[in-house]
Structure 1
Amino acid sequence: MKPNCNLKAGDRIRLLSMDDPDPIPAGTIGTVAAVYPQSDWTQVDVDWDGGRSLMLSIPPDQVQRIDASPQTQSGE
């Protein structure tokens, strides 16, 4: 059964959790560089905003796709 990983290159993501001995801190934002589906998991290459480049393994790592558009300061 394939994991539900609908990420694509260029997506902006926020890390929720990472199962790694030296993890990227939760809450860190990055840009998906490439996605490599495997049989029952997905490897995701991410360029993190802090300068680090560490791949995700989904599952167990968890991310949230975020809106890449600039934030606006409207009253609406």
Structure 2
Amino acid sequence: MFGVTQKELERLRQQYPKGTRLKLISMEDPQGVPEGTVGEVELVDDIGQIHVRWETGSGLALIPEVDRFQKV
């Protein structure tokens, strides 16, 4: 189970505020969005998952330290 400390959560929320654009490099989910897909951060939840509205219409969340992505 993925979880973060309060300090890590605050850092994630500062680093990825709502509206931040991200590009997926790879995702550990067989039904994830295609590599290279761009999306916009909606929120960072209380366990540190980054919820993204992808250009494909998907709302799948990223898990830092599991999924790979970059700001664009």
TM-score range, shorter chain: 0.7 to 0.9
Structure number with higher strand proportion? 1
User: Unaligned stretches of 5+ in structure 2?
Assistant: none
Cα distance in 2 between the residues matched to 1:59 and 1:22: 18
Pairs aligned (count): 63
- The Cα of 1:64 is off from its aligned counterpart by 0.6
Structure 1 or 2: more helix by fraction:
2
Q: Provide the TM-score with structure 1 as the length reference.
A: 0.71
Query: Alignment RMSD, CA only?
Result: 1.9
Identity across matched positions, percent: 33
2:54 to 31, 48, 57: 48
User: Could you tell me the TM-score, scaled by structure 2's length?
Assistant: 0.74
Is the contact between residue 33 and residue 56 of structure 2 (CA under 8 Å) also seen in structure 1?
no
